[in-house]
Structure 1
Amino acid sequence: MLCFSFTASANSFNNPQAWLQKLSQAVSERNFNVSFVVLSQNADVEPYLWRHAVIDGVEVEHLNMLNGPGREVVRIGDRVSYFEPYTPPYTMRSSEINGPIPYQLMRDYENLSSSYNFVLVGRTRISGRAAQQIRIVSHDKSRYAYNLWLDQESGLMLKLDTIDLNGQVVEQLQVTSMQLTEVPDDYFSRIELSRLPKVVELGTTADTRLGWQINWLPAGMRVVKQNVRQLAPNERPIEYMMLSDGMVDISVYLQQLPNELNQRTALKHQSNTLFTMQRDSLAVTVIGKLPAKTADAIASSIGITPR
């Protein structure tokens, strides 16, 4: 019986694109309750409950962090409400929740093809369910790789390993239980739309022209945001740029300092790298889930441009 289950899937889905399409359809069309944990190096286990449903053609989601003071997120269509400790609740306009779930991979995998190769590997069992493994590797080997396991029956994600350049797992997301239902979870019927926080309207601002540019980026990575931040009235401004390839977001900060030094420092916190470099009076900081040598290459490629 077990062998038949594996073979049936192989006959229907013999390439990674077909499996990723099945994943995309499942996370946008199915009603499900999923419990999963996130494990990172030198960090406590983070357990989550993730609910999803489609009600009258509208997607609804609930993500609940179960340990500590808690963090809950509710999405109704294109509005996402955040309920966090020590912060007033707020709502943003978005079609995805900011959290550990890799939305671009699950919903827009085609846009990742300029950055990553997808390779169908083998079949196994994850959390008692038949699963198909897909290997995800960046074109230029400048970023972490990923091992993804999808539920053979539904196409939903069962496990995602983030792997550094030495082949070590630096972060793991694993489903511990999964329930697919014909009707939405009762939780969604208890949501009172009138009591959700109002949408925070950020408005539209013109792109800030920075006095520098990055001359090298990993394949498929692009600039998605940039601005200038004044943290204190008497301090020099910090110029900021966000980079993304769809799987990874990278923050780059640049500041002119009064003292001239030449030094480099790379720190690692769980799966994140914090790389700082000072070249003469120019201080550059790169933060994100990427290898230290890639952060160094990005920072070293920065050149000053006339405003």
Structure 2
Amino acid sequence: MFKKSVGVWILLSSFFTPMVWSAVAPANDNDDNSVAKHNVPAEQQLSADALLDNMKAAFKQLNYDLSYVEIERGRITPMRYSHGLIDGVSVGHLLSLNGNPREYLRRGNITSFFEAEQAGYSLSSTAIPGLLFNLMATELTLDESLYQAIYVGGKSRVTGRLSQVVRVVPNDKYRFGYLIWVDLTTNLPLRIDMIKDSGEVVFQVMAISLYQFPDVTPWLEQLNAVKLPPVLSAMQTQALMPEPTKSEWKAAWIPNGFKLIVSNKHQIAGINQTIDYMQFSDGLVDISIYINTNAKAGSLSQGLGVSGQISLQSKITDDIEIVVVGEVPSMTAKKIADSVVRNLDN
């Protein structure tokens, strides 16, 4: 059943070419739910928090097609995201355009995953993966102890469109900051830079085309009608992941706001060994900690096959290897690695 669904999925994808109905659909002044009508002239400039709120609302409410690239360490990954409201339900589809095919379809709060060489599956209350979608789902400024949003001022052009820029500044040195370009007409995000204190860009999402439509595109309606894999039950979901356990190890230090979301033991295929694993998240980025108690038998740094990550820090002491991976500054990853100790409370 899964293979048949994926076959239809890929077939639909191959037929899709974005139709330029209009570069920007006009806002309906009679529609109280219209996001575009909230645009204001410069003299009535909204606050940075209000701009971010409008951006997130537009991302979930408008009918549009956004093509963009993810840029990291010289590697460019093109993506296309299509969104529309169908019978009042938010429907979004993300497709990778190069390399192994990856597709994700989100209907309401259910996301279906189609990744290379894996049977498709659906999960409830799980977002499409990626910085763009994490950012749209995270209330960055809700906890002011973590981040502050600042309106940069002026106008800037991205992919030929005028935008306003918001800077999201972390309140500590253990996270990256962000620059976000918000389209003046639609309030949709046009560019996102993940930046160091120095201003160096370490990861970037850059729009290359944006089309807003007056109605849901026939493509998205057709895709919405495709039969997708059923939502996995709690038991089936656990089968995809190692059984959660209380770790024999702990991080004595972790940046404020990060919470433990995964703790288990599982095997790393690259070195054919079982390791201790912990994952932390602040809602926007994740930090993963791997502990290998038999480093002589094989190195985690080689076996993990990590790619597309900002930082990787590794240390070996008394044949115990600790590796920290995450979208945080390298000094943060190192400080976490140095703090990992045996969990004497366990």
* TM-score between the two structures when normalised by the length of structure 2: 0.76
Whole-angstrom distance in 2 between the partners of 1:107 and 1:165: 22
1:52 match: 83
Q: Tell me by how many angstroms 1:179 deviates.
A: 1.4
Whole-angstrom distance in 2 between the partners of 1:39 and 1:147: 15
2:294 match: 257
Task: Assess if the C-alpha contact under 8 Å between 1:171 and 1:270 holds in 2.
Answer: no
Give CA-to-partner distance per residue, 1:27-74, whole Å, 9 cap, x none.
11111111111122131x221111111111211011111123432211
From 188, 208, 215, the counterpart of 1:156: 188
Task: Assess if the C-alpha contact under 8 Å between 2:141 and 2:147 holds in 1.
Answer: no
Whole-angstrom distance in 2 between the partners of 1:82 and 1:268: 21
Whole-angstrom distance in 2 between the partners of 1:175 and 1:12: 27
Give CA-to-partner distance per residue, 1:188-233, whole Å, 9 cap, x none.
221365631222334387852112221212232221221121458x
Whole-angstrom distance in 1 between the partners of 2:161 and 2:224: 35
Matched-pair identity in %: 30
Whole-angstrom distance in 2 between the partners of 1:72 and 1:100: 16
From 280, 285, 292, the counterpart of 2:323: 285
The structure with the greater share of residues assigned to strand is 1
From 253, 269, 292, the counterpart of 1:216: 253
One-letter amino acid of the structure 2 residue matched with residue 295 of structure 1:
A
1:127 match: 159
Q: Could you tell me which runs of 5 or more consecutive residues in structure 2 were left unpaired when the two chains were aligned.
A: 1-38
1:276 match: 314
One-letter amino acid of the structure 1 residue matched with residue 107 of structure 2:
I
1:61 match: 92
User: Residues 71 and 236 (structure 1 numbering): CA distance in 2 closer, same or farther, change over 3 Å?
Assistant: closer
Matches within 5 A, 1:1-307: 8-43=40-75, 45-106=76-137, 108-111=139-142, 113-122=144-153, 123-191=155-223, 193=225, 195-203=227-235, 208-231=245-268, 237-257=274-294, 272-306=310-344, 307=346
User: Residues 41 and 140 (structure 1 numbering): CA distance in 2 closer, same or farther, change over 3 Å?
Assistant: same
User: Residues 56 and 41 (structure 1 numbering): CA distance in 2 closer, same or farther, change over 3 Å?
Assistant: same
Q: Tell me by how many angstroms 1:111 deviates.
A: 4.3
Task: Assess if the C-alpha contact under 8 Å between 2:292 and 2:320 holds in 1.
Answer: yes
Task: Assess if the C-alpha contact under 8 Å between 1:62 and 1:72 holds in 2.
Answer: yes
Question: Does the residue aligned with 2:206 lie in a helix, a strand or coil?
Answer: strand
Give CA-to-partner distance per residue, 1:83-135, whole Å, 9 cap, x none.
22322222222352113423344553344644222111122221222211111
User: Residues 270 and 95 (structure 1 numbering): CA distance in 2 closer, same or farther, change over 3 Å?
Assistant: closer
1:4 match: none
Pairwise CA RMSD: 2.9
Whole-angstrom distance in 2 between the partners of 1:95 and 1:182: 28
One-letter amino acid of the structure 1 residue matched with residue 339 of structure 2:
S
Q: Could you tell me which runs of 5 or more consecutive residues in structure 1 were left unpaired when the two chains were aligned.
A: 1-6
Whole-angstrom distance in 2 between the partners of 1:271 and 1:194: 33
Question: How many equivalent residue pairs?
Answer: 295
Q: Tell me by how many angstroms 1:12 deviates.
A: 3.5
* TM-score between the two structures when normalised by the length of structure 1: 0.85
